[in-house]
Structure 1
Amino acid sequence: MAPQLASAVHPSAGPCTRVLSAPKPAFVPRHQTSPKRGLSSASRKLVPCAPARRCGRTAAVAPRSAQTADSSMASPTAQSEVGLIGLAVMGQNLALNVAEKGFHISVYNRSGDKTDAAVSRAGKEGVGERLHGYKELKDFVASLKRPRRVIILVKAGAPVDATIKQLTQFLEPGDIIIDGGNEWYENTERRQAELAALGIHHIGMGVSGGEEGARNGPAMMPGGDEGAYSHLRPVVERVAAQTDDGPCVTYIGPGGAGNYVKMVHNGIEYGDMQLIAEAYDVLRTVGGLSNEELAATFVEWNGGELESFLVMITSLIFSVRDTEGEGFLLDKILDKTGMKGTGKWTIQQAAELSVAAPTMAAALDARFLSGLKDERVAAEALYAGLGVAAPAAAPGVDKAALVADVREALYAAKICSYAQGYNIIRAKSMEKGWGIELADLGRIWKGGCIIRAAFLDRIKVAYQRNPDLPNLLVDPDFAAELARKQDAWRRVVAVAVGAGIGIPGITGSLGYFDSYRRGRLPANLVQAQRDFFGSHTYERVDRPGWTHTVWDASFGSADSITTSGYNN
């Protein structure tokens, strides 16, 4: 099997090592009651980095003693290069990452027990001399070197505003606040304007990678004042995941550009996860593949063009047995998917920008439908009574052929999903004048983040080759691949429809591909209908200008049946 995708710098590795994840068959997780844990050490292996580029890791210094928050508070002096507020899972792990990379960091949390926990953990992990806990905000601020760089990792919205209000009592002009949460970009821009009046800089920085990424190296997307970012850059370039293309962080653009790009990143993530789930559904339901067969299939896929973090962890998920009962854990999980809102924001933005995003929209709709568990169970019983059979494995199905087709369909649909996300970012960048370099996104998303994938290298190259590329679907390399894979893609859609399996992401992606590649669509009829009932006029193909027609005299003038200001 080909080596897996590099995810981050591992804390126990030497000065130039990377973590590669390798699935192991049928293992039992060591932390069954902690669903947010990262991959166990059993699923990691260490390999040397390429000698031409160092990972930037500073060896940890063993602590003289386990430092407590109270002892750290005794004499606050300006010793720390970075401060961090908010010591939940992401905050604590990011703080430890910063300390491990050789920076002194001060930490503060509203509840002191989390500060104590962070300091205690720092001592155990060998970075206690560089992580300093404080229980008074004033002392926390006093411990920071100027210009003070304070990362906030608290719940988005009002809690961020409340934290900033308290923090600014002690900050001075020139200091920098960095919001690392999943914040709505307009909130970021509002805060930037408010803080600018005080002479304080504000950077909205998306952070991707989850708990493991925060600890070992995430992908980061900072946006705001570029001069302020220059003070943050030495830290984040060391803390970020490292790949053969450099650190997985770059200045995204002014204003809320960083938060916006992270939002769309999450929308792409929604699409990616839905497409993988649909591939699983077809293979399991139509092909009758067992969990063991699915695990082996995804391991194989992760060794080729589908190599990615999500495909890799999916292969592991299939292998995990239930420690509280018989069989596999996946089969015991309720089929209801949660969400935190960034996917919804992405689709709302796509609509406002008039950018088609059917793959991500289908993923969002699928989550909504998953939440209707009781209704779905009742509907299943209703239609069973009416003779509508439940989806089942096809008799005599050629498993190998089905697996090969689904592999092609999944890859083609993923290209469409990424194309839609990039088009949303490009449209917003043009609207706001952000000047986002799309090629840079392919580079920084290669490591650390949830959507990291091998083919991001090719997306980067596509936008380097043509920065004005209107759509990934017309990049010569991707277009050639889609042309080769379309037959398999269509077969998967056909077999799913025939079996009664909804695969809206894969089907929506195919519809996107087919519509985008056609020079003429049936939109002429829709426009004629609009003109019929609403006098909205239409353009002709044989001459310029706008035309209105009274289509049927019995209806009278179309204007007479429309309300004032009506627009469809």
Structure 2
Amino acid sequence: MMDSQIAMIGLGVMGKSLALNLLDHGFNVTGYDISQQNCTRAADEAQPLSEQMDKGQFVLARDLTHLIESLVPPRVIALSVPAGPIVDSVIEDLISAGLSRDDIVIDTGNSLWTDSEAREHRFAGKLRFFSTAVSGGEVGARFGPSLMASGDKEAWNYVKPMWQAIAAKVDVNGLPVGPFESGEACAAYLGPAGAGHYVKMVHNGIEYADMQLICEAYYFMSCALNMSANEIGQIFSHWNQGVLNSYLMEISAEILQTADPVTGRPFVEVVLDKAGQKGTGLWTAVNALQQGVPAPTIAQAVFARAQSSQKSLRTVASKTFSAQLSSQGALDKKQVLSELHDALYCSKLTVYAQGFDLLNATSKKEDWGLDFANIAKIWRAGCIIRAIFLQDIADAYLTNPALDNLLLAPGFVEQLLARSPGWRASIANSALYGVAMPAMSSALSYFDGLRSDILPANLLQAQRDYFGAHSYARVDEDESLRYHLSWSCKTKQQIIV
């Protein structure tokens, strides 16, 4: 029987793609899936690779016992199954089938990070549980994803050669290279169990916001500048040649310049404006609220998807409230596009700042010791939010690992000072012309809040003390000292609490 270095349980879109990627790089793979259709499709696509001398061999397992027997010890088994109880069920079945305490089980699904922590404790002494969050979708998994690994450090040392081989690569300038070219791998060990899936969760939160920001720029061009989808796509293609270069900008440009094969109309115009979501952006927003970390643009992106689902309500409201457009005359198209370009850049940078702020807070709380420069590096290729300025983010954290907020890095300070006037003009225009730009507006509000030495929380805290005796600190005393004012008395009296 052929000896496999790794087995893949779950041969759906992602599992099959990862298996084929491993074969491409010379690793022998055993595959297993309860779906015969998935098994047949994976075997058919693997056969041409297995026939090549420099590729790995693929075998389908009859059952879990057969799968375990096909592997060289310590056995490495990757799971590409739906997140949740199914992961636990498959692991229990593997233990029953003969898995040992030295064997490694890797969860590559979209699991909640706290589930990964719980599984490490649950299966301790029975096997080595490991997790690797995968970003890049089907194409990334097939030809080079971004891999965020966490858990047992010895397990990482064992699987590291495989993960670095199949991961996306970047050159010395931080730019993506082909799947078989040499370069720095976008795969890294991030810390204890849960860390990898947490970083992927925040990645997806940033992704939600980044997508929404691009959509808002498109929407403003369409509504306020009366530009066609094709014309907007051409502008996006041009922007993608500079500081806004990213995977999401690239595909948005292509989408906008694509015609519907049925009607011939711009494809984007025949797509119903109701956005779906799988929950990871929601997880990020909820976690930010729980941690007390401001990530308003990520949360607003989730809310924007929720509002898009209220299609019938919006249709009624659109007929009830007529458009309230500015009476200031036509906009200067060239100037407005330049301002919108800067607004999109500043907003995107602010979203990354919110994401890294959340990573920083949780890293400290969980004692993970996350390396933010390393995280930025493995996001430079393979993943959905890959963008040219991730190299600048990595450089910022390499220069100052203890950076309090990404926006305070000298290079980004310079960019924000130069581009923020266009940001403000774009948000003002969105309000005057009645074009909703919730994420971009919240990003600007976050920035203005960050740069404000004094916020109106002084009045808010006084309100809390008035109706709930929640106490307050004074600007002329040590912050640790708490006071309460006797509001019900005619002569106000301050007491120490």
Normalised TM-score (structure 2): 0.93
Alpha carbons of structure 1 residues 513 and 343: separation in structure 2 relative to 1, 3 Å: same
CA distance in 1, matches of 2:93, 2:311: 43
Residues paired across the two proteins, number: 478
Question: What are the within-5 Å matches in structure 2 for residues 238-317 of structure 1?
Answer: 238-244=165-171, 246-317=184-255
Taking the aligned partners of 2:84 and 2:324, their CA distance within structure 1 comes to 44
Q: Which residue of structure 2 aligns with residue 207 of structure 1?
A: 134
SS at match of 2:303: helix
- Asked if the contact 2:230–2:266 (Cα under 8 Å) also holds between the matched residues in 1, the reply is no
Mapping of 1:129-140 within 5 angstroms? Answer: 130-140=57-67
Of the three residues 168, 176, 188, the one matched with 2:104 is 176
Aligned counterpart, 1:3: none
Secondary structure of the corresponding residue to residue 489 of structure 1:
helix
Deviations 1:339-366 (A, max 9, x none): 1111111111111111100110110110
Identity within the alignment, %: 39
Distance 2:58 2:144 in 1: 17
The answer to whether the 8 A contact 2:101-2:125 is kept is no
Q: Which amino acid in structure 2 is aligned with residue 553 of structure 1?
A: C
Answer whether contact 1:308 1:453 (CA < 8 A) is retained. yes
Matching residue of 1:380? 318
Aligned counterparts of 1:555 and 1:351: Cα–Cα separation in 2: 39
Residue 296 of structure 1, CA deviation? 1.0
Letter in structure 1 aligned against 2:443: S
* 2:410 pairs with one of 473, 476, 483: 476
Aligned mate of 1:123, from 40, 43, 47: 47
CA distance in 2, matches of 1:125, 1:149: 21
Please, which moves more after superposition, 391-400 or 360-369?
Answer: 391-400
Instruction: Kindly indicate whether the alpha-carbon contact (under 8 Å) linking 1:535 and 1:558 is maintained by their aligned counterparts in 2.
Output: no
User: Aligned pair 1:189/2:117, yes or no?
Assistant: yes
- The equivalent residue for 1:8 is none
1:69: which partner in 2? Answer: none
- The residue type equivalent to 1:120 in the other structure is D
Instruction: Give the superposition deviation at 1:126.
Output: 5.6
Match of 1:114 among 31, 35, 38: 38
CA deviation after TM superposition for structure 1 residue 554, in Å:
7.2
Alignment partner, residue 548 of structure 1: 484
**Equivalent position amino acid for 1:299 in 2:** S
1:431 to 359, 365, 389: 365
* Contact 1:97 1:239 survives alignment (8 Å): yes
Change (3 A) 1:325 1:470: same
Q: Which residue of 2 aligns with 1:520?
A: 454
Q: Does 1:105 align with 2:29?
A: yes
Q: Does 1:489 align with 2:417?
A: no
Partner of residue 9, structure 1 = none
Check conservation: 2:373, 2:401, Cα contact below 8 A.
yes
Q: Look up the equivalent residue of 1:504 and give its one-letter code.
A: P
**SS of the residue 1:106 aligns to:** strand
User: Is residue 23–residue 50 contact of structure 2 (8 Å, CA) maintained in 1?
Assistant: no
Q: Deviations over 1:152-176 (max 9, x none)?
A: 0110001111111111222112100
Alignment match, 1:454 = 388
- Residues 357-406 of structure 1: per-residue CA shift (max 9 Å, x gap): 011011011011011111111111222xxxx3266998532221111111
- Superposed CA RMSD in Å reads 1.9
Counterpart of 1:486, as a letter, is S
Per the TM alignment, residue 558 of structure 1 is displaced from its structure 2 partner at its CA by 12
Q: Distance in 1 between matches of 2:475 and 2:326?
A: 48
* Distance in 2, Cα, partners of 1:534 & 1:349: 27
CA shift at 1:99, angstroms? 0.4
Distance 2:429 2:304 in 1: 20
Note the alpha carbon deviations across 1:51-74, whole angstroms, 9 max, x for none.
Answer: xxxxxxxxxxxxxxxxxxxxxxxx
Residue 392 and residue 87 in structure 1: after superposition, are their counterparts in 2 closer, same or farther (change >3 A)?
farther
Q: Secondary structure at the match of 1:116?
A: helix
1:177 is paired with a residue whose SS is strand
Separation in 2, partners of 1:173, 1:266: 33
Cα distance per residue 1:83-107 (max 9 Å; x no partner): 1000111111111000001100111
Residue of structure 2 equivalent to 1:564: none
* C-alpha distance in structure 1 between counterparts of 2:141 and 2:328, whole Å: 44
Distance 1:461 1:349 in 2: 27
Cα deviation per residue 1:20-79 (whole Å; 9 max; x = unaligned)? xxxxxxxxxxxxxxxxxxxxxxxxxxxxxxxxxxxxxxxxxxxxxxxxxxxxxxxxx361
Distance (whole Å) between structure 1 residues aligned to residue 235 and residue 328 of structure 2: 19
Offset from partner CA, 1:525-568 (integer Å, 9 cap, x none): 00000000011111111122211112343799999xxxxxxxxx
Corresponding residue of 2:16: 92
- Partners of 1:364 and 1:405 in 2: how far apart? 25
- The answer to whether structure 1 residue 319 and structure 2 residue 257 are counterparts is yes
Partner of residue 180, structure 2:
none
* Distance in 2 separating the partners of 1:82 and 1:426: 34
The aligned residue for residue 167 of structure 1 is 94
Between 1:491-500 and 1:120-129, the stretch displaced more is 120-129
2:343·2:422 contact (CA, 8 Å) conserved in 1? yes
